[in-house]
Amino acid sequence: MEVINKMVTILPNMQVLKVVEETKALRGKRPADEESENLNTLLHETAAYFKDTPASAQKDEHVIKLNQELQPYKLTIAETVQILNLRPSTAVEVQLVVEECEERIRTEEELEALVKKAVDESTRRRSWTNENLGFADSKVLTEGRREELFDDMNQNEEESRCFGSQKFVSTIHQCFNASEKQDIPEQALT
């Protein structure tokens, strides 16, 4: 098999998750051979990883809306996709994603506006259940304590973001020269 065009476009994690789930559904319960078992494992592990990221809550509308809101910042495709994937909640996180951020986003107000656009509470907030906090017994963590933990984590943004940032494994490869500035075409996001 020959790969004719390695990178037609880069995909946000949300779309990768959608492709993985569609592939899992199409494969169904086929007879297991070694190759299909490996593929099933890969699909399962990839889907499980993305379930703990903002990708699991994002919709196509989120991608299109954020892309339109980020247009004035003249970000590269890779930067826009990273912001979509990571949903940075602090100026420091944006500076880590945007190359030469201090030169391209000159004022603190512009940087804060970009952070506000990137953060969408519905895609950032994680479900705080006993299971994903590591408690098997529901009596161990009461609803009040769960909310208290969530509030504490929101107060310390570094802590609240560590679960996603440290585990993040980029599935995106840069597909164009870094000096080129390109916008993401809307049809590439749908």
**pLDDT per residue rounded down to tens, the chain (190 residues):** 677 777 677 888 888 899 899 988 887 766 667 667 888 888 889 999 988 888 888 888 878 888 888 888 888 989 999 998 888 888 898 899 999 888 888 888 888 888 888 876 444 444 434 444 444 444 444 555 555 555 555 554 443 343 333 333 232 223 223 223 344 444 444 3
Phi/psi of residue 133, nearest 5 degrees: -95, 0
Residue 90 is classified by DSSP as S
Contact 79, 182 (CB under 8 A): no
Q: What is the mean pLDDT of the chain?
A: 69
First to last CA, the chain: 28
- Other CB atoms within a 10 A radius of the CB of residue 40 amount to 15
In tens, the pLDDT along 65-92 reads 888 888 888 889 899 999 988 888 888 9
Q: What is the pTM of this model?
A: 0.56
Q: Which domains does the chain show, CATH number per domain?
A: 10-27+41-123 (1.20.1250.40), 126-165 (no CATH)
Q: Which two tokens stand for residue 141?
A: 């963590």
- Burial classification of residue 63, based on how many CB atoms lie within 10 Å of its CB (0-12 exposed, 13-18 middle, 19 or more buried): buried
What distance in Å separates the CA atoms of residue 137 and residue 142, rounded to the nearest whole number? 10
